[in-house]
Chains A and B, each alone.
Chain A
């Protein structure tokens, strides 16, 4: 076997029907089939999931932490973007 490392994969598990898949961790695998089986064996041993997604880590593009200020801070004082300035008539239920 060559010394080359198998690629890294990110694992997402849906814990039950109706919920979202959540990132639970990562693992090494040679391809998608093996990644799926490894995810099953590593991350669902204690009944954690009903569905698994795996994606090779290189296909995930993350925002740059160095750009966090320009990315996220400007949203901090835009309270008018929350729909909280409407008077809801009393006859409207379940809002």
Chain B
């Protein structure tokens, strides 16, 4: 194959067997939902950041994730082939149809809480994209390669803050530990394969989670050591988001995210 033009306009979705194509659609949609919901959460900080410089940093990360989400939604729309657009997928699906893991829909809390949510996502996101860019699916690989550089910076940013909070003042540490008690239970879902993911992994289209989980965990251990934080021992994990079982928070988030399109269908500007 000659060097392919990977822009959506030039690459028709590859033809997979129908079952596999449907699973790939669901998987790409899950990636899209994950990035969109986290981008929206971060965008809630716009104008409310602790200092101007960090307000911008949060908005930058939100925009990176939104761009990534758009690429996935565009690809998902093509894989589905039912005439739905990226906007239809983002704005006209209900909460139970969303497939993001529970972690990314959790409310912002204080800055430490947002930073920890971001860090737990970033370490996973980075390792996932590093593997996904090797995918035999050219579109997924191209999106992953572009997003990997952004994810590398996100991880650097959030890790830096984890270290500052953990190894900072009594108050910063106490706030981070409080966030850890709330958020840790949602980390495991990121690398717990759903039946759809399992099928795609077995087909060799997307990476298995074992390696990703091990590398992400090693990075968390390394950063927590720098931050003088104890690794949580709590074994309780709360999955469900990737199967459409969400917390109540997602409904409120979508109400705001989808308000304009729901109230004025087809509105553009």
Residues of A within 8 A of B (CB): 1, 6, 27-30, 33-34, 37-38, 40-42, 45
B171 touching A38, Cβ below 8 Å: no
Return 9 A-B CB contacts under 8 Å, by A number.
Answer: A27-B53, A28-B53, A33-B160, A37-B157, A37-B160, A38-B53, A38-B57, A41-B60, A42-B52
Q: Is the CB of B57 within 8 A of A41?
A: yes
Interface: B51 (CB within 8 A): yes
Distance between A36 CB and nearest chain B CB, rounded to angstroms: 10
B164 to chain A: which residues have CB within 8 Å?
30, 34
Q: Which 6 A-B pairs have the closest CB atoms?
A: A38-B53, A41-B57, A41-B56, A27-B53, A41-B60, A42-B56
User: Interface majority SS on B: helix, strand, loop or mixed?
Assistant: helix
- B108 within 8 A of partner (CB): no
Q: Within 8 Å of chain A (Cβ to Cβ): is B169? A: yes
- Total interface residues on B, CB under 8 Å, equals 15
* A40 → chain B closest CB, angstroms: 8
Contact of A28 among B51, B56, B157 (CB under 8 A): B51
A29-B53, A41-B57, A45-B60 known; A1-B169 Cβ under 8 A: yes
Contacts A41-B60, A45-B56 supplied; 13 other A-B pairs, CB < 8 Å: A1-B169, A27-B52, A29-B53, A30-B164, A34-B164, A37-B156, A37-B160, A38-B53, A38-B54, A41-B56, A41-B57, A42-B52, A45-B60
Query: Once the chains are docked, how many angstroms separate the CA of A28 from the CA of B52?
Result: 9
